[in-house]
Amino acid sequence: MKFIVSSTQLLKQLQILGGVINNNNTLPILDNFLFELSDKQLKVSASDLETTMSTVIAAEADENGTIAVNARLLLDTLKTFPEQPLTFVVEDNNTIEISSESGKYALAYANGEEFPKAIELESASSTNIKGDILATAISKTIFASGNDDLRPVMSGVFFQFSTENLTFVATDAHKLVKYTRDDVHASEVAEFIMPKKPLNLLKNILSGIEDEITIEYNNSNAKFTIDDTILICRLIDGKYPNYDAVIPKENPNKLTLDRNSFFNSVKRVSIFSSKTTHQIRLKMAGKELNISAEDLDFSNKADERLQCSYEGDDMQIGFNSKFLSEMLANLDCNDILLEMSLPNRAGILTPIDGLEEGEHITMLVMPVMLNG
């Protein structure tokens, strides 16, 4: 078996697929890329049993065949080549020989038949969505998902499809993000929870792709088709919490301010906050917002004033500065609205501008109890 392929094109695709491979695999075969040659096309796959990703690369080939090649060794070798055609020849002594313009390299290969087969989705529903819209939905929500092994449903992003819109939700019980698109809809109602790892892989592939991609899903798996690349992953099993119930509906205290000034102020003041609670205090009175933090253990203290527009009763509320910073970093707008009801109820953060037609973002951050 012999095939010729572009070094840079192969490297580019393998670097994407390499994100699927775990550092410590239970099955040694999963340390490999699966190479399948058929009809003058090279299909390369990577898997960790939960997620399988494959892509098709143009190649000159003389026959069909299947082999598994060590991923780390191949990637490290390809990174050193400038753009050139590489010739791969499968030898009888269980090695594959790579010929470049400067030399020859032989590496052992494994039997491709041992590689786990990709799951076929049975009785699946499907929805089409533009690649960049899905990439935005992932990047706007994934940071808010949790890492608690005891609550696996919160460790992913909740996809909620209806005939009116698509909604994506992530929460770790301290913060919550709900991202909705009214300009995209599904043919039927569906709900599933996507794990973080395949979402990060999708985010990297999809940014800048304006073409429509196809999402197929059933109760246990989801499949994403992006041109010649296919990603299939196992969904998180379980029922997602009723997120709408935790979003306060009555929020009479409304604070409007410049996102960038607020973000920089929160970052600065938080340097002086307690290293365990990361607590900062917001004090609203009239047209002024006072942001302060104190670390009693080290006598560190910071206090800043910001011009703002505020409607409501004078109030003080405490937030974890890490959560607030993450949210502000993930908004692309000039001005934001922070709505509150009481110091012990969640604050609602929404962008005032910078949204596309049909795009809605609601961010919720839980308060922390103020000391003193």
Check whether 326 has a pLDDT greater than 90.
Answer: yes
pLDDT for the residue 286: 85
Mean pLDDT of 271-284: 95
Residue-level pLDDT at 92: 86
Q: Is the pLDDT of residue 98 over 70?
A: yes
Is residue 201 domain-resident?
yes
136 & 90 share domain = no
Among the candidates 114, 141, 169, a domain finishes at 114
183 with 199, same domain: the answer is: yes
| Residue-wise pLDDT tens digits, 158-203 | 999 999 999 999 999 999 999 999 999 998 999 999 999 999 999 9
Residue 32 is assigned to a structural domain of this protein = yes
pLDDT, position 208: 81
Q: For the chain, give the percent of residues with pLDDT over 70.
A: 99
Quick one: average pLDDT of 59-66?
A: 88
Q: Are residues 254 and 362 in the same domain?
A: yes
Q: What is the pLDDT of residue 40?
A: 81
Co-location of 239 and 253 in the same domain: no
Domain boundary, last residue among 244, 269, 288: 244
CATH number of the domain that 88 lies in?
3.10.150.10
Cα(344)–Cα(53) distance, rounded to whole angstroms? 45
Residue pLDDT, tens place only, 209-258: 889 999 999 999 999 999 999 999 999 999 999 999 999 999 999 999 99
For the cut 80, the answer to whether the pLDDT of residue 372 exceeds it is: no
The reported pLDDT for the residue numbered 149 is: 85
Question: Given CA atoms 22, 147, 327, 294 in this order, what sign does their dihedral have?
Answer: negative
Taking residue 225's Cβ as centre, other Cβ atoms within 10 Å add up to: 16
Question: Does 110 share its domain with 131?
Answer: no
The pLDDT, as a whole number, for residue 31 is: 97
The full 3-state SS of the chain, as one line of letters, equals: CEEEEEHHHHHHHHHHHHHHCCCCCCCHHHHEEEEEEECCEEEEEEECCCEEEEEEEECEECCCEEEEEEHHHHHHHHCCCCCCEEEEEECCCCEEEEECCCCEEEEEEEEHHHCCCCCCCCCCEEEEEEHHHHHHHHHHHHHHCCCCCCCHHHHEEEEEECCCCEEEEEECCCEEEEEEECCCCCCCCEEEEEEHHHHHHHHHHHCCCCCEEEEEECCCEEEEEECCEEEEEECECCCCCCHHHHCCCCCCEEEEEEHHHHHHHHHHHHCCCCCCCCEEEEEEECCEEEEEEEECCCCEEEEEEEECEEECCCEEEEEEHHHHHHHHHCCCCCEEEEEECCCCCCEEEEECCCCCCCEEEEEEECEECCCC
| 262 and 191 belong to one structural domain | no
Residue 96 lies in a domain: yes
| Residue 86 covered by a domain | yes
237 and 267 inside one domain: no
Distance CA(137)–CA(158), nearest Å, equals 11
Host domain of residue 170: 125-244
**272 shares a domain with 355:** yes
Q: How many of the other CB atoms lie within 10 Å of CB of 296?
A: 10
**Does residue 119 fall inside a structural domain?**
no
Pair (164, 109) in one structural domain: no
The total number of structural domains that make up the chain: 3
The pTM of this model reads 0.93
pLDDT of residue 287: 86
95 has pLDDT over 80: yes
pLDDT digits (tens, 9 = 90+) for 110-145: 999 999 999 999 989 999 999 999 999 999 999 999
Whether 46 and 133 share a structural domain: no
pLDDT at 61: 86
Is 372:296 a contact under the CB 8 Å cutoff? no
